[in-house]
Amino acid sequence: MPSRLALFGLYTAWCLSASAQKSHFYPVRSSSLVGLYGSRIDSLERLLGNACPDTFFIQNSIILAEYCFYSEDVARSDAWLAQAEARCRKTGWKRGALMALRLRGIEEETGHKNYAAALGYFTNAALIAEREGWSAESHAMYTSMLNLCFYTGDFVGAMRIASKGLQLAEKEGAQERVARYDNIIGFIYLRQKNSAGARRFYALYLAAATRRHDTLLIADAQNCLADVCLEEKDDDKALAYLGRAMTVYRGLAAANRLNQMDRLPYTLYKTAFAYGSRGDPVKALGYMQEALRYVETVSCNRYDVAAYFLYAGNLYLQLDRPREALPLLRSGLSIAREIHHKEDLRDAYLYLNQLFARGKKFDSAYAYYLLYDAIRDSISNERTTQQIEEIGNGYSLEKKDRQIERLSQQKRWQEATLRRQLLLRNLSLGFLALAIIIGWLVISRRELKNKQRTQASANQKQHELFNLTAAVQESERKRVAQDLHDGIGTLLSAARLKLSALPDGNNVVAATQRLLDDAISELQSIAHNIMPASLLRLGLVRALQSLFDQLPAGGLHIDYMAYGFDGRLPEEKEIAVYRMILELVNNAIRHSGATVATVQLVRRPGEINILVEDNGCGFEMSRTGNRGIGLRNIGSRVTYLNGSLHIDSRPGHGTTVIIDLPDGAS
């Protein structure tokens, strides 16, 4: 859910009021004047019926056209505005042309909802103001243009306008306007998921508000920083900012000093969003219900009201209460369509897609998803973000970084001054505390280093011990297997030959020969398990194939595949890999009850990948340590070979073991 334009309404009112004070051509618009429009229109028409100077006629004709427009008398409004425009073309009066373009833009924006046409009129008015050097009028037009860009989701256009306004405000030295543009640019960056850029400009806005000691603006800046925290998923910090802002707003409201009461429902909405992000939709819904109660009595921006309905509907949807969610979502969608607000439309389509999908009405869900997908790409994409960054660089927004650095230096200087004052007042205590802290840090650091050295030494010794043990074990295995084969095996074979020389027909001799055959076979099996001759003679790949071929029929079926082993591995590594695979296959046979297992060996440049997978009963990963020393031995071998081990198993879903080893031979 996107954040709303927290301060944009305030900024618009401020710019227009400032412009009106300097140029005297913006009439006051208020609902209390609606009843007076009739008498004012009649008076102005009588006044303009007489001969009068061109500038007087143009100015009052435009005011008259505006009164007619707000009285919904469109025909008379167009007639008077057309006369004013014709007189402007005749006289070349620039201020009158600007006033006429502004009113045309208002008519297209509020009357016809034709935002593209309105933006064109405001842009032309801004060009006149820029050429004539009228800064107040320029900023007023920028404000109107920004509002339209945000309605239509044109953040690239908004960045161009805000950057131009910021450049003009800096040239004028108008710090309050600079702060407002910092806020708007921060918002634009936030809408493009650039939280770092948003935080940078919001920090400038907070610093300006702090310098002015303006409690209300400080609260507004905290609301903005809360949006950054929400974007960065730091919900606790966002709630802290929102809590401080809400305290200020409630205090001002209680004292009847809060002119923009819509900040209360907005802050409640953002608080609800923070709790929703934390996974507490029940608490979030409580805040949203309070925000919606404010909407009934407080004048709020229409795009904010749409957002409140949409997010409340989303919360009901999260709580599996679709019947209560649907009317809220439809209300939000209706407002968004009425005002053509792209971000609210995007969110409405997404939530309705989720609601109908949950209700298994997949045709409606798909239709809303198509609408959501179409509008989502038009608001924010990689190209848009890149263009915004290019515009920022083009208008030398790197000056903001220098301002931030100056602010940081000023803050450090203030902190250093405060520390010096405290040091002078508490010199003795400070030195004592400093000495204690330094001593404690030195001792702690020394102890930490000693612990690290001891642990490193223990780890090294353990690693060396395992290496030595493994080497000795394999050497001893080889010796024992050789002795069994060459010693006892030879003796048994000789005894068998002696017995075979005796005459046939003796049952005792035949029985003894069978026993000797069994003993020789068992001895060969033991010697093979201790150190397979096929491994030393044929290599790892063929030794494993020989091992799997000897498995009894009807037991575990193994799909075996080896790739990339054109040459042999070092003997030590072949033995280690053989032992690990043998242990994993034995586990599958003895413990898992598997019927099928897969063994894959893949050798790539620089690495060896081993996969052993079975369809057995699996086990709880948290109990891996209780399954004997087999897996621990595998882990030790992998560590010894500087590899990595990954085990994936769940009860009833089999076991997958992946081992990656470096291949020093490549």
Judged against a pLDDT cut of 60, whether residue 129 lies above it is answered with yes
Q: What is the model's pLDDT at position 468?
A: 64
* pLDDT of residue 462 exceeding 80: no
Residue 119 has pLDDT above 60, yes or no: yes
What is the percent of the chain with per-residue pLDDT over 70, rounded to a whole number? 74
Count of Cβ atoms closer than 10 Å to residue 523 Cβ: 17
pLDDT of residue 305: 93
Tokens 């939530």 correspond to what residue?
351
Q: How many CA atoms lie within 13 A of 43 on its CB side?
A: 7
Q: Where are the chain's structural domains?
A: 9-152, 214-292, 301-371, 426-531, 538-662
Least confident of 262-276, 317-331, 645-659: 645-659
How far apart CA 55 and CA 155 sit, in angstroms, is 38
Instruction: Say whether pLDDT at 397 is over 80.
Output: no
The 10 Å Cβ neighbour count of residue 462 is: 12
Q: Which CATH number fits domain 538-662: 1.20.1440.130, 3.40.50.150, 3.30.565.10, 3.40.190.80?
A: 3.30.565.10
Helix (H, G, I), strand (E, B) or coil at 133: coil
Q: Which phi and psi (to 5°) does residue 650 adopt?
A: -140, 150
Residue 35 has pLDDT above 50, yes or no: no
The predicted structure's pLDDT at residue 331 = 94
Fold match between domain 9-152 and domain 538-662:
no
Query: pLDDT at position 620, please?
Result: 79
Architecture of the 214-292 domain: Alpha Horseshoe (1.25)
Residue 550 Rama label (left phi>0; alpha psi -120 to 50; beta) = alpha
pLDDT at 214: 87
Residue 407 confidence (pLDDT): 66
Between 6-15, 118-127, 234-243, the lowest mean confidence (pLDDT) is in 6-15
Segment 125-131 shows an average pLDDT of 94
- Between the CA atoms of 224, 148, 97 and 180, what dihedral angle is there, to the nearest 10 degrees? 10
CATH 1.25.40 fits 301-371, yes or no: yes
Dihedral (Cα; 295, 298, 301, 304), 10-degree rounding: -30
pLDDT band at 10 (very low <50, low <70, confident <90, very high): very low
Q: What is the pLDDT of residue 474?
A: 60
Who wins on pLDDT, 514 or 27? 514
Radius of gyration of the chain (CA): 41
Query: Count of H helices and E strands in the chain?
Result: 27, 5
**Side chain identity at residue 193, one-letter code:** K
- The per-residue pLDDT for range 200-210, each reduced to its tens digit, is 999 999 998 89
Residue 8, amino acid: F
Which pLDDT band, with edges at 50, 70 and 90, does 416 fall under? confident
pLDDT for 134 beyond 90: yes
At residue 530, the pLDDT reads: 62
Separation between Cα atoms, residue 300 and residue 455, nearest integer Å: 63
Return the half-sphere exposure (C-beta side, CA atoms, 13 A cut-off) of residue 645.
Answer: 17
Judged against a pLDDT cut of 70, whether residue 604 lies above it is answered with: yes
- Is the pLDDT confidence value at 188 over 80? yes
State the residue for tokens 């002795």.
483
Asked if residue 122 has pLDDT above 60, the reply is yes
Mean pLDDT computed over 346-373: 91
Mean pLDDT of the chain: 80
| Range from 11-15, 147-151, 182-186, 431-435 carrying the lowest mean pLDDT | 11-15
Least confident piece of the model among 67-76, 313-322, 438-447, 530-539: 530-539
Residue 585: pLDDT band by 50, 70, 90 thresholds?
A: confident
Residues 627-653 have a mean pLDDT of 81
Cβ pair 276, 310 in contact under 8 A:
no
Q: What is the CATH number of domain 9-152?
A: 1.25.40
pLDDT at site 447? 86
Predicted confidence band at 450 (pLDDT cuts at 50, 70, 90)? confident
Residue 369 contacts residue 332 (beta carbons within 8 Å): no
Percent of the chain topping pLDDT 90: 27
* pLDDT tens digit sequence for 488-517: 756 666 666 666 666 666 666 667 767 776
